[in-house]
Amino acid sequence: MSGLTIKDVTKAFGAHKAVNNVNLTVPHGQFVCLLGPSGCGKTTLLRMIAGLEEPTEGQIVLDGQDITGVPTHKRNLGMVFQSLALFPHLSVGDNIAYPLRIRGVAKSEQKARAEELLKLIHLPGFADRPVAKLSGGQRQRVAIARALALSPKLFLLDEPMSALDAKLRESMQVELRQLQQRLGVTTFVVTHDQREAMTMADLVVVMGEGRIRQAASPMEIYRKPADAFVADFIGVTNLLDASADSAGRVSVLGQVIPGLAMPAGMTKGSVSIRPEDVRLGKTGGDAITGTVTFVRDLGSNIETYLEVNGQTIIAVSTPRERLDVNAGDKVGITLPAENCVVVKGN
Ligand code: ATP
């Protein structure tokens, strides 16, 4: 298969398994985000793909070839780290051309490739500038261009946006994704920012304690989280204790959710429902009665915090759907079965 396969890979540091039996297949040209809380093993997994760390067990296969023991410089990789590691004494053009220079590529060819890459990163004409005079976002782009100079098979980035302010980070995410799509290079990005992962990835790999908790498209991760850990890590969700009656119908907050069934083999778990899927209206009928505790009007949307039997629920509505309610008011809450996901854990 063309692409990268990670087979039964474990990395132990002493008794601690930083990466624990990871299996993953990534087709050629995909953009993968390794996502998870601090210490979950994302960087260690990326470093093994890069050859900077040897797996304790398992194999890494690139385009059908086992590269597990192959040194980094023979893996045909482009890498960008948090520090960027640009050479401050070299110009922008020389930084980008550096990988070509150490491979003995002719000077004229180095120059042409640097110009081509500068166009690609929207900095044409910047070749002679000192890197010290660039802004944070421009340096970021130069580091990306340098990593791509040799047209690598794999493009690896470790928290590449973390030094940028929030606004610049968002625009760089879009730029990086567009660049990757144009080049079709298989890309892995380590991030702990779920928004970043949702913006860029074809495949989001959520890790927890060294294991893959779920690997799927951003939408599937958001809409069909595999467990409570994933649901809680990705975006904001309501995680409500759920139990099943003898007929397998699911109850939350003391009320049966019509049309929602407990997965086979489970008697209790949690229901995950996103705030934008919680409907608010009048009390009565099938609606669950809740008490409004706080209303936050953010202009583009309105967050309503509610309490039912000691559990908090957040509902998000658009200004058009706005209910005129205040703290202390009773409202009817509907949790549509099609928006509820029953997950293990709580
Ligand atoms: P962060 O987001 O904080 O960078 P991460 O998910 O990238 O976290 P890793 O850096 O892969 O996590 O670390 C996973 C675990 O392995 C951590 O508990 C870490 O302390 C441990 N670890 C990583 N590298 C080493 C090492 N060289 N020696 C010993 N332990 C290590």
Both tokens of residue 64? Answer: 């059908």
For residue 1, what pLDDT is reported? 65
**Ligand 1 pocket member 44 (CB < 6 A):** yes
* Contact residues for 99 (Cβ-Cβ < 8 A; gap 6+): 146, 149, 150
For ligand 1, the distance from its centroid to the CA atom of residue 268, given in whole angstroms, is: 34
DSSP letter at 134 equals: S
Both tokens of residue 326? Answer: 């205040």
For ligand 1, the distance from its centroid to the CA atom of residue 205, given in whole angstroms, is: 17
**Ligand 1 pocket member 161 (CB < 6 A):** no
Percentage of the residues of the chain whose pLDDT score is greater than 70: 99
Task: Give the number of other CB atoms < 10 A from CB of residue 207.
Answer: 25
List pLDDT tens digits, range 237-273: 999 999 998 888 899 998 899 899 888 888 889 999 9
**Ligand 1 pocket member 42 (CB < 6 A):** yes
Amino acid at 290: G
Is the predicted pLDDT of residue 34 greater than 90, yes or no? Answer: yes
Return the ∠ at Cα 259 (arms to 255 and 295), rounded to 5°: 55
**Ligand 1 pocket member 15 (CB < 6 A):** no
pLDDT band for position 3 (cuts 50, 70, 90): very high
Ligand 1: which of 34, 43, 53 to mutate, most ligand atoms within 8 Å of CB?
A: 43
Is the predicted pLDDT of residue 210 greater than 90, yes or no? Answer: yes
**Ligand 1 pocket member 211 (CB < 6 A):** no
Ligand 1: which of 40, 82, 189 to mutate, most ligand atoms within 8 Å of CB?
A: 40
Q: Which of 25, 43, 28, 3 lies closest to 207 in space, CA to CA?
A: 43
**Summary mean pLDDT of the chain:** 92
Is the predicted pLDDT of residue 140 greater than 90, yes or no? Answer: no
pLDDT band for position 346 (cuts 50, 70, 90): low
Higher pLDDT, 286 or 217: 217
Closest residue (by CA) to atom 29 of ligand 1?
Answer: 13
Question: CB–CB of 117/148 below 8 Å?
Answer: yes
List pLDDT tens digits, range 154-166: 999 999 888 778 8
For residue 68, what pLDDT is reported? 95
Is the predicted pLDDT of residue 35 greater than 80, yes or no? Answer: yes
DSSP letter at 85 equals: -
List pLDDT tens digits, range 53-103: 999 999 999 999 999 999 998 999 999 987 778 888 889 999 999 988 888
